[in-house]
Structure 1
Amino acid sequence: MSENGTQTVNTGGIRLSYRSWGEGDGVPVVLLHCLGEDGEDWRGPLISALAGEHPVHALDLRGHGESDWPGSYAMDDFVGDLRGFLDELGIGRAILVGHSFGSFVAYLFAQQHPGRVDRLVLEETGAMRPVRPPQEVPEPPPGTPAFDWEVKVQWTRQRNDPDPRWWERLEAVTAPTLLVGGGDGSHLPQEDLRLMAERMPDARVLTIDGAGHLVHEARPMEFTRAVLDFLKES
């Protein structure tokens, strides 16, 4: 364990850093952060509430935090990392909670490995359909970014022209799914959440209006309650 309280696993030649809480016997929960953040972004009431009943793990995605920055950031890389992470920890089925970029990783994983996802929470996610007009590939900001800027570059290209299967295979996401939107103040089209939920076999949308894109930070107690209520549903 590092001085920052992180642990590491190695999978597919990549070192992944993560934080863990809780020793309950519930289904393990894996938290997946947004672009530019790391597992520390989740620290707060959600972890406190979950850790009483579930082992909770907050992963630093590749190119972020203390995980390796290998320069290759295809979405399949992130999905493969998550699969390897679960394998290394001996987790057969997990509850996945993803925010923004992390939510894309979560639902692409759920498409490819439906049997390994118990429940799915997608905070401020988006529909992976072509962006028109396309977003410009950004130049790096001045100074040293807190994450590998190449993630942003490669993500922008993939977001502009996504693999059509990522949209078509939403119906392969068989786990019960909660899509949480921030309503007013979010830069993402909130209609996307409804369209995605309609394509999934067991999904619904909850809007925490006025929370914006950072729902779990702006309205932490409401977000935590929404997740807990969802996990308790039969």
Structure 2
Amino acid sequence: MIQYSQTTVTDDHTRLAVQLRGHGPALLLLPGQANDHHWWDRVRNDFAGDFTTVTFDYRGTGDSEESAEYSTRLFAEDALAVMDSLAIENFHVYGTSMGGRTAQWVAVFAPDRVKRLVLGCTTPGGRHAVERSDEIRHLLAGHDREAALEEEMYTPTWRAAHPGPYKTLGDPTMSARARHGHLAASNNHDAWDRLPEVTAPTLVLHGTDDRFAPVVNAQIIADRIPDARVHTFDGARHGYFDECRDEASGMVMEFLTV
């Protein structure tokens, strides 16, 4: 199993930290909002035995530089720049949360390059999406944001057995400006009009008790992408890919290796 890192410089001269692990066909893993590649730490090796897993730190996170602007479209362009810099022409994509929003654009922008697409705990954005409630927004804006994040990512039973620390609660090194930029990028996402252009076979995954991105969005996305199929994890919250790791990773592996 290889492990390799490099820096990719985008067309606007932003330096992005890139990480590879594994061997085999390429699998691009895209993390959630305000998170770097460590989002995938617990599950990455589930794939690295059969795939060359590729991650990068979004602008403003990890070891990547900050940016004057942030958007899911720009993150998708960064993802393609990363794959270009690695001379990887064709690849699978697995994106969760804001990474799922970014993955939608990657599949739209490069239909001839994306072989299979997995969208987890995400939404199409815009007026067709069912967004989180005001209650959840207030919790995330409160004084105990980290506790609220833990509560919405994982069930109490799972957290009792897996006390953390968790790598899915946001990059603590981010500046306030970058964090605000990521929030705006996620909030402004709207790929609805372009989703029918996705040609890659698509699997949509979601936890039934997700209050960050309500589970109804899974079917909304699947109905918009030709021939997409949906699987939900009963009782799981936003971090289904972590809490339901055995089932979720196994399902993704099966889908990617058909």
In the superposition, the TM-score normalised over structure 2's length comes to 0.77
Which is further off, 75-84 or 115-124? 75-84
Counterpart mapping for 1:52-63 below 5 A: 52-63=49-60
The 8 Å contact of residues 219 and 230 in structure 2, kept in 1 or not, is answered as: yes
CA deviations 1:109-157 (Å, max 9, x no partner) are 1112111111111110112123789979x98989x94324334434544
CA RMSD of aligned residues (A): 2.8
Aligned to 1:39: 37
CA deviations 1:181-223 (Å, max 9, x no partner) are 0112433221111011011112111101122001122221121
CA deviations 1:148-186 (Å, max 9, x no partner) are 4334434544555555xx201111111011111011243
Aligned to 2:62: 65
Going from structure 1 to structure 2, the CA distance change for 1:190 and 1:219 (only over 3 Å counts) comes to same
Task: Name the CA distance, whole Å, in 1 between partners of 2:7 and 2:83.
Answer: 12
Which amino acid is 1:47 matched to? R
Task: Name the CA distance, whole Å, in 1 between partners of 2:142 and 2:63.
Answer: 20
Which amino acid is 2:31 matched to? H
The 8 Å contact of residues 20 and 54 in structure 2, kept in 1 or not, is answered as: yes
Aligned to 2:7: 8
- Residue 226 of structure 1, CA deviation: 1.4
- Residue 81 of structure 1, CA deviation: 0.7
The 8 Å contact of residues 175 and 202 in structure 1, kept in 2 or not, is answered as: no
Aligned to 2:246: 221
The 8 Å contact of residues 180 and 205 in structure 1, kept in 2 or not, is answered as: yes
Aligned to 2:180: 153
Identity %: 31
Which amino acid is 1:18 matched to? V
Going from structure 1 to structure 2, the CA distance change for 1:177 and 1:77 (only over 3 Å counts) comes to same
Relative contact order, higher structure (CA 8 A, sep 6+)? 2
CA deviations 1:77-121 (Å, max 9, x no partner) are 212111111110011111111110111111111112111111111
Number of equivalent positions: 223
In the superposition, the TM-score normalised over structure 1's length comes to 0.84
Task: Name the CA distance, whole Å, in 2 between partners of 1:186 and 1:140.
Answer: 16
Task: Name the CA distance, whole Å, in 1 between partners of 2:14 and 2:31.
Answer: 18
Gaps of 5+ in 2: 145-170
Gaps of 5+ in 1: none
Aligned to 2:163: none
Going from structure 1 to structure 2, the CA distance change for 1:87 and 1:139 (only over 3 Å counts) comes to same
- SS of 1:180's partner is strand
- Which residue among 107, 112, 124 is the counterpart of 1:110? 107
Task: Name the CA distance, whole Å, in 2 between partners of 1:209 and 1:146.
Answer: 34
| 1:231 aligns to 2:256 (yes or no) | yes
Aligned to 1:28: 26
- Which residue among 195, 200, 204 is the counterpart of 1:179? 204
Aligned to 2:122: 125
Task: Name the CA distance, whole Å, in 2 between partners of 1:79 and 1:48.
Answer: 24
Task: Name the CA distance, whole Å, in 2 between partners of 1:208 and 1:52.
Answer: 24
CA deviations 1:33-69 (Å, max 9, x no partner) are 101221112123x422322222111211111111111
The 8 Å contact of residues 66 and 178 in structure 2, kept in 1 or not, is answered as: no
Task: Name the CA distance, whole Å, in 2 between partners of 1:214 and 1:183.
Answer: 11
